A and B are shown apart, each in its own frame.
Chain A
C-alpha cells in the first residue's frame, strides 16, 4: 500500500528565510505523482506544486520548489523567502494509480509551519 510520511509535526521559520518541509513516500508503482497542498486556518486546501515520477527536473512554482530524490523516495518542499501568510498546515500527497481519470490521493499527516516576524 502507498504511504506518505511527514515527520515534522511543526516547523518555525523567520520571515524572509527559507524552510524545507520533509516528505517521504512508499510505493511499488513505477509511475506516480506527488503533490503539496497548503491548508490555512480557513480550511481550504490549496494546491502548491506537483512532481511526476518521470520528471527529470525538480518542479518549481514561484517561491515553492520540490526537492525530488527518487532513489531516497523523498519529495521535500522548499519555501524560499518565507512570508507571514505562509503560516499554515502543509500536506504532502501521492496519487495512486495513474491509469484512472479521477484523482485518488493519499495524504500525509501534515506539518504546521509558523512564520515569525
Chain B
C-alpha cells in the first residue's frame, strides 16, 4: 500500500458540477497539504493542515473548499470551477516535527479537467 493515496486519478467535470478529491495517508503524519500543478508553472501551495487545523490558505478562491476530518484524510471539495482550474492536484503529507529537513510525501495526484 502506497504512503499517500489520491482518488480519483482522473476527473472531468462541468463548470456547474460539484465534486470532491480525496487523499489518504498511511504514514502516521500529522500535516497534510494540497498543491496545484499547472503546465509550465511552479507547484502552487493551496492549503496546509497541521494537527487537523488549517494553518495555511494561499488566497485560494472559495470555489475550492478543503476538509480535514482526521490526520489521515484530506478532501478538496470543488464547485463552480472554471476551465483555468484544470490542473494536476497533488496531496502531500509530512511529520510536523519542526525538523528543517522533514520531507513531503506526495500522492500521484488527480488530473482535473474542467469543461
Chain A contacts to B: CB under 8 angstroms: 4, 31, 33, 35, 37, 42-47, 50, 52, 91, 93, 95, 98-110
Q: Does B55 contact A (CB under 8 A)?
A: yes
Instruction: Determine the distance from Cα of A24 to Cα of B5 in the docked complex, in whole angstroms.
Output: 32
Are B108 and A103 within 8 A (Cβ)? no
Interface residues on B, range: 20 to 34
* Best-surrounded residue of A44, A102, A105, A109 (most CB of chain B within 10 A): A102
Cβ 8 A contact of B101, one of A43, A50, A93, A110: A50
Chain B contacts to A: CB under 8 angstroms: 31, 33, 40-43, 45, 48, 50, 55-56, 88, 90, 92, 94, 96-98, 100-109, 111
Q: How far is the CB of B95 from chain A (nearest CB, A)?
A: 9
Given the contacts A31-B100, A52-B100, A108-B42, A102 and B50 also touching, CB distance less than 8 Å: yes
